[in-house]
Amino acid sequence: MLKARTKFGSALKEIDKAYAFAAAKLGLPVEEIEEMAVPAYGLTEVGVCEEPMGEFTARLTVTGGGTEIAWVKADGKVQKGVPAAVKKEFAEELKELKAAAKDIERMLPAQKERIDNLFLQQKSWPFAIWRERYLDHPLVGVISRRLLWVFTTGGKAVTGIWFDGRLVDVDLQPVAASQETTVELWHPIGRDLAEIMGWRGWLDAQQIQQPFKQAHRQVYLLTDAERNTRTYSNRFAGHVIKQHQFNALCAARGWKNKLRLMVDADFPPASKLLPQWGLRAEYWIEGAGDEYGRDTNETGTFLYLTTDQVRFHPVEAVQRTAHAGGGGYHPGYQQTDDEPMPLE
């Protein structure tokens, strides 16, 4: 929960250190510690908590992007507003319930982001562990049950989703799973177009809104221009973007970035480590403008950036830097200039 609430890089580093320490002590990967540490917030089943309060039962329901609290009378009728008797006689319990609802609403985006990154981690689980930590987890299950997963048994892979109380394929046929089954998050990369379109149509027909773009995710195939440049892409070059919004987006998506100041200093590109793939992605940017106070705020931070190439380097490759005022990225003094990885 602490990591979900924290936005500052220095604080996140300390939290990451704590996770790393716990992981080393238990002999487990950090990602698994994060996975195991998701609280249930008192939910007694996937997305639902019921708590008796006098003549009423408080029903907390986790929706796609938030929570709802309803009050159920003894005769089964539902009252949306908080009953006066509950406010008077169960003030502390009501306060705790509302606090849990707020914590859930803060945690949901963090869990969506964590699960969205599982493909980059090339993560897979034995079926029983996946069921415990994802499908049937009181909070995580709200997200997991609206996603596509790949179930592999004896070398045969089937894509499925939770629907109407069971796992089914795109034809609504049951997905068989056993102790030998492994599970991984489905991703459109490398999938047949017919399969992608089939699942998009299925989700639309069942009116299921996924927690993040999965079946409807954009996939960027190489263009002729990128084949010609070979080691970099200009697909996202030549844009002028708001620096502070870009920096916030980098933090949210797991990219490292430093705010560009109008000073005599060098800055590395925005980058993201992809250790399971042995790669580091880089997005080249520089401050836009040259007039202090007009193109910067009062602290000298550029208001806007211009964008350039996207490149991929081996994880251990030298980190290039560029001057705040532009001039291109280059390795440090007496450092080897490592070539970027080919795009194809």
**C-alpha distances in angstroms, 151 versus 16, 25, 141, 167?**
31, 31, 17, 10
Looking at residue 146, its pLDDT comes to 98
First to last CA, the chain: 40
Going by C-alpha positions, the residue among 18, 53, 10, 54 that lies closest to residue 34 is: 18
Q: Would you state the pLDDT for residue 150?
A: 98
Distance from C-alpha of 270 to C-alpha of 262, rounded to nearest angstrom:
17
User: Can you give the pLDDT at residue 253?
Assistant: 87
Token pair 């697909």 is at which residue? 235
Q: Which residues contact 178 (CB under 8 A, 6 or more apart)?
A: 127, 153
* Whole-number Cα distances in Å, 235 to 88, 103, 316: 61, 39, 25
Q: Tens of pLDDT along 292-310?
A: 999 999 999 999 999 999 9
DSSP category for residue 131 = I
Instruction: Give backbone dihedrals phi and psi of 279, rounded to 5 degrees, phi first.
Output: -125, 160
Q: How far apart are CA 143 and CA 140, in angstroms?
A: 5
Q: If we measure between CA atoms, which residue out of 223, 227, 159 comes closest to residue 191?
A: 159
Number of H helices, E strands in the chain: 10, 16
Burial of 208 (0-12, 13-18, 19+ CB in 10 A): middle
- CA angle 295/300/306 to nearest 5° reads 45
Please give the structure tokens belonging to residue 136.
């049937």
Alpha helices (runs of H) in the chain, residue ranges in sequence order: 2-5, 9-26, 30-36, 84-89, 91-116, 127-130, 140-144, 193-205, 224-229, 243-252
- Residue 335: what pLDDT? 67
> Strands, E, within 31-90: which ranges?
48-53, 56-62, 67-73, 78-79
CA distance 76 to 203: 32
- Residues listed for the chain: 344
- What's the token pair of residue 335? 């450092």
- Whole-number Å distance between alpha carbons of 160 and 44: 25
What distance in Å separates the CA atoms of residue 223 and residue 225, rounded to the nearest whole number? 5
Identify the pLDDT of residue 193.
Answer: 93
Q: How confident is the model at residue 10, as a pLDDT?
A: 62
Q: What are phi and psi of 265, to 5 degrees?
A: -155, 160
Quote the CA–CA distance of 151 and 163 in Å, as a whole number. 15
Beta bridge partners of 201: none
Flag residues of the chain having pLDDT under 70.
1-12, 15, 334-335
Two tokens, residue 66: 């938030």
Instruction: Specify the DSSP class assigned to residue 296.
Output: B
Dmax (CA) for the chain in angstroms is 79
Q: Are 233 and 310 in contact (CB under 8 A)?
A: yes
